[in-house]
Amino acid sequence: QSLKPHVCRLVVHQHGSQVLQRFLGRMRAPHNQFIFDSLMGRAHFVASDRHGCCVLKRCLQVGSEQQTQKLVAQIVAHTLSLAQDPFGNYVIQSIVETKVPAYISDVLDQLRTHIVQCSRQKFSSNVIEKCLALANPQEFASMVNELFQPEDVQVLLLDRYGNYVLQRAMETAPRRHAKPLIDLVRQHLWTSPYSRRIQGCISRLAQKDQ
């Protein structure tokens, strides 16, 4: 009861956030409900805070299904901005890491048509890589369709973050679908300053097929 009036202040405080995380680790619903209630309506602001993002990640780990559903719904509505945020991107990745199909689908719905843009940004490129690794086959195919347009492949091959996204897509793709992706990358590989790194990825994939 003594914590309840101060959650909003504690969640963004270096030491206060540690107290909340410890409490969440020890107390389950309904005893931790006051923390979730305090975050409602401001979760997307808390997600972009250095300390607040850690509390939100803990909430996602220990919350009940009902608690996390409400929290995720508020955060996912701001996926595009949070994915590009130095701290918010970790919260979006944590949502994807829950492996709840509905959550992953909601995140990807927000990122649709922005996949290439996010692949070229330091923080959101990590979100894209996480989604590629955990999306279902249909969602993966949709992401690849955005990423592997010839003009976008050329741009991503030149990009310091985008080249990693292309590598992750080739590594994650089912074998029968990987070859067309690899062939398209090879067509433009000579233009990339990261060609040696990307060729190494392609060579490793070829060795796995042998």
pLDDT tens-place string over residues 98-155: 999 999 999 999 999 999 999 999 999 999 999 999 999 999 999 999 999 999 999 9
- Contact residues for 67 (Cβ-Cβ < 8 A; gap 6+): 29, 33, 36, 59
H-state helical runs in the chain: 7-10, 16-26, 33-39, 43-47, 52-62, 65-76, 79-83, 88-97, 101-111, 115-119, 124-134, 137-147, 150-157, 162-172, 175-188, 195-209
pLDDT tens, position by position, 33-53: 999 999 999 999 999 999 999
pTM of the model: 0.94
Phi, psi angles (nearest 5°) of residue 113: 75, 0
How many CA atoms, within 13 angstroms, populate the side-chain half-sphere of residue 11?
28
